[in-house]
Structure 1
Amino acid sequence: MNNIQLMLRASIAAALIGVSAHSLANTASDTAFVGISTTEAPRITQTVDNDHVVTIPKTHLAIVDLASSSSPLDGSVAMSHMQLVLKPSAARQAAMEALITKQHDPKSVQFDHWLTPQQFGDSFGVVDGDVAAVTAWLASQGFTVNSVYPNKAQIDFSGTVAQVNHAFHTQENIYTIDNVKHLANAGDISVPVALQSVIAGVMGLHDSQPRPLVKKPQIAQWDASKKAFVPKVDATATTAPKGIGQAISAHGVRGLVPNDMATMYGINTIRNNGVTGKGITIAVVEEYPMVATDWTNFVNEFNLAKYGGTFQQFNPAPPSGVTNCLDPDVVLAPFKGTPFYNPDFLETVLDAEWATAIAPGANIEVAVCSSYTAGLGATSTNFFGGTFIAATNLINGSTRPDVISASYGFGEHAVDSASKTAIDLMWAQADAEGISVFVSSGDSGTNPSYNGSVINGLRSPTDLSALDANAFASSPHDTGVGGTDLADVLDGTTSQYFAPTPSVVGGSALSYVPEIPWNESCGNGVAAKAAGYSSVLAFCQVYLKHDPDGFYATSEAGSGGPSSTDAKPAWQRQVYNAARDQSRDLPDVALFAASYGGYTWVIVCTNAFPCAPGFTTQMELVGGTSLSSPMFAGIQALMDQGLQARGLPVDQGNAAPTLYALAAQEYGGSSGLTPSSLAACNADNGAKGTAGCVFHNVTRGSNSTQCVSLFNFLQVTNCYNYGSVNYLGLFTNATIGLTSADTSPTSYGAGNKAYGAQPGWSFTSGLGSVNATNLLIAWRAFDDASPAPTSTP
């Protein structure tokens, strides 16, 4: 019997008290990098010649090639707070990875010994001589150097369009794409050959932005007679064809409250023992603000204020130099009274409130930086705009959070190389500092670039694959969080898992509820079976018959897939059914996100629709993997406090290595015999069957969704076409299909759909969801295996 099973046999009450035999230091002040050398000479050894340049590939966005028109941007236009991305040497990159591996190894003396931003920069950033050479070159080109970050991996600088065009041998243009004007560089940038070894590129040469991974909300009114929420009907909306969204009925929809999640995910036991996230700081990184009283309304309405959590919304400044984090309220003030002005961004509200829902004792920080500059349109910072700036400023600051949640995303194929390099370095730095980072995997099935729409190839016209991974989540140094759906509605088992009359504060969930992958398309095999169809293809043909214009075609589903840029970390190989590829794969774990047919949502309290006692007013219901990520950040806050209570280090760095190590004990490894707990921990076993499990293994369904090819020259690959469609009445020669693992599929089924759930790990839901109480017990056992500290590491 393995250690986890032994621990789970112990009394939960006993497991939640006591002190560890030893306590490890949580700083790097007394840590030596045993066996790791990071000393190196400067790599810039030639004289910088501005006429002798080299092009950096993939530093412009291919989507500009689809622009209907373009015009040069005036040379006098200011471009503020661009980020010059520096790349460490291969030796320092390898040393960084080696140290982080040791920081996560309970048998290493480096275990849980975290760095400061300065230590990270001195050891793994670009050496001072090279930084000086690059900053001198920027100044010689007329730029203003605002600050060099402590990580020595990015330089914040400002200038004009003319200076950018000249220094980087490109052309900044205004493009019209889908009737919207965008700023972007026309081609890849070039830099002097002497600098190429240390410059990865520039963030901020275009204004393309990721989408928040949140579903369009539902406004609904509680109906006591129906014991459900009745959605507000949009009089302008087209009536849905028969058979679509059949899960919604005259009985209304379900709105989950915080106590529902606490019940479903095994949080109540440790909460009753005082584990509420108290003393742990969770930062949600955002680009638009919320009204602070929303959070107060939420905690008061759902009886969470008693746990003592705090809320703060602020604009994190860079460590030094001119601020690059603008307050959205100030920037957008001139637009008050117009539709453009929104002081209460739904994404931000969802993140802050539902991190608190899981960890009501935690300190919530809404770190928000504007991605808009008046007069120019969207920001000139980088692809991930204010979200990236907020995160990097936090990670490089003197006071850093314990946990970060980010709910934004876009596919790797549609992100420039400089932005991807900077994102991966940022999350690696967070990991080395002990910060646990959680990122939503995406809301559009196998390609996260199409949130709220259908995969059609337009986001990345040079790579038309229906398969992609969220660039913001695919670093091996964050934990990607996917989305699940509750299976009770499609299974017809609701009475087993939910009380007939919900409590306003307590909710209605009775226990853990079996989960399936969140998938709102006709590719949902569980829905097809529930509707009486023999296959999803037959189900989709019925959709097409009733919806010949593809108006209700969708790719909304929890995202997952292999990275095309990041290699698979060793810890991801160690669990049963891990993908046999060389790629970093998403997601790692999953929690409830949304439901087929739009039946189940969560409640948020917003400025426009505040929560009232007894739900006497209209409420706002929301979903998406933007919900899943902050909830798992809340679970991590519980882990951190629970570990600290036993004298173990409070910060854990990236959670994924530990999660996979624990899952390997429960599901089995990549080879050898599988333990009986693999079958026992199947999510379909429900509450009683999985009571002793750390993970709920999601094994039914898929995140294979619909995909559309719009033109003869824009044929989406990895899409099995099952019919023709007059898409939205605009594209008469379009075809519609389902996403497939095959590049050019000639059939569709269990063997090639992208992707199917399976025992162990899967692209649909990673390791599955968790029981927080059992996870804490197992995590303590894992961390307690570490060696006692010595005076000389």
Structure 2
Amino acid sequence: MDLLLTKQADPTSPLFHHYLTPQEFKSQFGPTKDAVNNVKLFLQSHHLAVTSISSNNLVIHTVGSVAAIESTFSIMLYDYIINGRTAFAPSLNPAVPNDLAPSLRNIAGLNNLSMYEPRYRMLKEDAPPHPLPISYTPNDIQVAYDVKPLLNTGANGAGQTIALFELDGYNPADITTYLDLYKLGPKKFSDVLIDGTRNVPGSGAIETTLDMEMVSSMAPNALQKVYIGPNTTVGVNDTYNAIVTDNSAKVVSTSWGQCEQAAGEAEMGTLHDIFRQGAAQGQTFFAASGDDGAYDCGDTSLSVDSPANQPSVVGVGGTTLLLNKDSTYGSESAWSTIVRTQLLGGGGGLSSYFSRPAYQNNLAITSPQRMVPDVSANADPATGYSVYCSGGNTSICKGWITVGGTSASAPVWAGMAADINQYLTKQKKISLGNANSILYALSNTPQRYPAYHDVTTGTNAFYKATIGYDLATGLGTPDIWNIARNLSGSILRGPALSEGDPG
């Protein structure tokens, strides 16, 4: 699998950007029928019902009594009180027979100790009746990051599909209000409901709303498929797996995460399998890198966020962006600040689980670990984005508000990527696909047009922004028109496309 991904990223390889269909992935790399059947028989022999098997054979759903589950996996489940919340978890790690162990990456759903958190941040929650003067509008960001010339060519996301990974609902009328004010056209979104969820705005509605509006601000004509799943480990896995097995979106945005240590090694492995399938299919994943600077777990230990830590995901960090009066790019620094004694900043650092991927080999930093983030965009809530949100059971969504966080920078990048893909298709070039190798090549090899604003000031509360790649802002923030023009040249010229290839 790793060899295929390497060849797909190599412009000299015959397999460069020749991506698999979900069916091809299943036949070449998915668990075999025998492996799936052995797991199924094992579960049924312990009085557990197998309720479904995902189309790629990566996920098996099973249900049963607590006693049957405890007996099957040699555990005891206990209730715990954590921060006033009752949670359950086993006292020991689950065990399975040795001959079955190679077929089981992870047994999810045995605890509910940790949940995914949205990566948005606000300086204050009181909302005025109209967009705040300090809130950046779609036009501001389009001008600052040089998206405007690309939009003026007609590359506004038309014909592109962007998947949004969400763990809460939203009010469709909020999106319409936003689109109408900024003249971004009619709504273009549909819901994909996972594991019996419904689109009911809850405490996380602001995240879903933010994601949809940020994507709309950069790619107003793209179709958004909003995948909404339960905020459980099983729900997270099922939602990501649905995005991958559907394979209808070549750009994916996620602004929900948790620190690596909370996720754990087994869950890291499950997500790794899912994201690698997406990468092999040519899907580009953008993930918020977190809003706690270099301390993603919220304590004094250096840590990074999942899934921005995944090698097949583009981790998107955060900056403080200042504009000139005409909205053109002024200056930028790594984002970190203290608000009411709480440290805020763009997530970044070294993964404890993943080794340094090949696309990070030519950097000044010599760590053997996966480095985060890959790129950045404005995320400081003091220079935040204008958002309209009225749905949900929280006092935050009271109309027009200013929102920041890497929750905003990830969907901003996703929208810009959809515009680039449309432009490249029009130029008869192949699209971004598994994008990290391309994004790093734009920085590491000579280009006609500068692809990034190199952020060289500020810190993320530990790591400094420096010349070139750094652990505070990655490669920097984009000049999208320059990136599109560079990519329409030689860097993406691979072998002729065959039937079934994206683009």
Which TM-score band (shorter chain)? over 0.9
The Cα RMSD (Å) is: 2.3
CA apart distance, 1:558: 0.3
Deviation at 1:219, TM superposition (A): 2.8
Rounded Cα–Cα distance in structure 1 between residues aligned with 2:351 and 2:13: 29
Q: Retained in 1: the 8 A contact 2:176–2:187?
A: no
Q: Runs ≥4 in structure 1, deviation > 4 angstroms?
A: none
Task: Name the structure 2 match of 1:396.
Answer: 245
Residue 212 of structure 2 aligns with an amino acid whose one-letter code is: A
Distance in 1 (alpha carbons) for counterparts of 2:318 and 2:197: 32
Q: 1:366 aligns with which of 223, 226, 229?
A: 226
| Aligned counterparts of 2:135 and 2:129: Cα–Cα separation in 1 | 9
1:302 maps to 2:182: yes
Q: Does 1:131 pair with 2:11?
A: no
Work out the CA distance in 2 between the residues paired with 1:428 and 1:325: 26
Deviation at 1:148?
2.3
Shift of 1:104: 1.8
Q: C-alpha separation between the residues in 2 aligned to 1:406 and 1:641?
A: 21
Q: 1:783 to 1:664 in 2, by over 3 A?
A: closer
Give the TM-score of the pair, scaled to structure 1: 0.60
Matches within 5 A, 1:751-762: 754-762=462-470
* Alignment partners' CA distance in 2, 1:394 and 1:586: 23
Aligned length: 493
Please report how far the alpha carbon of residue 412 of structure 1 lies from its aligned counterpart in structure 2 after TM superposition.
1.1
Q: Which 5+ residue runs of structure 2 have no aligned equivalent?
A: 393-397
Call closer, same or farther: CA 1:343–1:471 in 2, change over 3 Å. Answer: closer
Distance 1:354 1:427 in 2: 23
Superposed CA deviations along residues 311-348 of structure 1, whole A, max 9, x for unmatched, are: 112314xxxxxxx342253xxxxxxxxxxx73870000
Q: State the distance in 2 between where 1:163 and 1:116 align.
A: 38
Deviation at 1:649, TM superposition (A): 3.0
Give 1:449 deviation, angstroms: 2.8
Partner-residue secondary structure (3-state), 1:256: coil
CA distance in 1: counterparts of 2:208 and 2:51, whole angstroms: 28
Contact 2:171 2:391 in 1 (8 A): no
What is the CA-CA distance between 1:198 and the residue it aligns to? 2.0
- Aligned pair 1:254/2:134, yes or no? yes
Which structure would you say has the larger Rg?
1
2:408 maps to: 627
Q: Give, in angstroms, the shift of residue 582 of structure 1.
A: 1.1
Q: How has the CA–CA distance of structure 1 residues 472 and 343 changed in structure 2, closer, same or farther, with 3 Å as cutoff?
A: closer
Unaligned runs of 5+ in 1: 1-95, 230-252, 317-323, 330-340, 372-378, 457-465, 489-496, 500-508, 522-550, 610-616, 668-676, 678-691, 705-753
C-alpha contact (below 8 Å) 2:17/2:494 kept by paired residues: no
Distance between the aligned counterparts of 2:74 and 2:492, measured in 1? 55
Cα deviation code 1:426-452 (max 9, x no counterpart) = 1111111111101111000112233xx
Partners of 1:192 and 1:557 in 2: how far apart? 45
Alignment identity in percent? Answer: 29
Counterparts of 1:266-665 in structure 2 under 5 Å?
A: 266-305=146-185, 310-316=188-194, 324-327=195-198, 329=200, 342=202, 345-371=205-231, 379=232, 382=233, 386-397=235-246, 400-450=248-298, 455-456=299-300, 466-486=301-321, 488=322, 497-499=323-325, 509-521=326-338, 552-575=340-363, 577=364, 579-595=365-381, 599-607=382-390, 619-650=400-431, 652-665=432-445
1:219 to 110, 118, 126: 126
2:105 to 200, 212, 217: 200
**In structure 2, how many angstroms separate the alpha carbons of the residues matched to 1:552 and 1:605?**
25
Alignment partner, residue 111 of structure 1:
16
**Counterparts of 1:388 and 1:362 in 2: how far apart (Å)?**
25
Letter in 2 for 1:472: P
Find the aligned partners of 2:498 and 2:182 in 1 and give their Cα distance.
47
Q: Helix, strand or coil for the counterpart of 2:445?
A: helix
Shift of the 608–428 alpha-carbon distance from structure 1 to 2, 3 Å rule, reads closer
8 Å contact from structure 1 (residues 219, 619) kept in 2: no
1:187-242 alpha-carbon deviations (Å, 9 max, x no partner): 2111111212222220111112021111145333379xxxx94xxxxxxxxxxxxx
| Deviation, structure 1 residue 146 | 2.0
Q: Output the amino acid matched with 2:359.
A: W
Alignment check: 8 A CA contact 1:351 1:630 kept:
yes
**What letter is aligned with 1:756?**
K
For 1:769 and 1:160, locate their aligned partners in 2 and report how far apart those are by CA, in whole Å.
51
Q: Give the whole-Å Cα distance in 2 for the aligned partners of 1:110 and 1:414.
A: 37
Relative to structure 1, the CA distance from residue 784 to residue 394 in structure 2 (aligned partners, 3 Å threshold; closer, same or farther) is: closer
2:345 & 2:13 partners in 1: Cα distance?
40
Pair 591,266 (structure 1): closer, same or farther in 2 beyond 3 Å: same
Rate the CA distance shift 1:629–1:618 in 2: closer, same or farther, 3 A. closer
8 A Cα contact 2:348 2:372, kept in partner: yes
C-alpha displacement at 1:553, in angstroms? 2.4
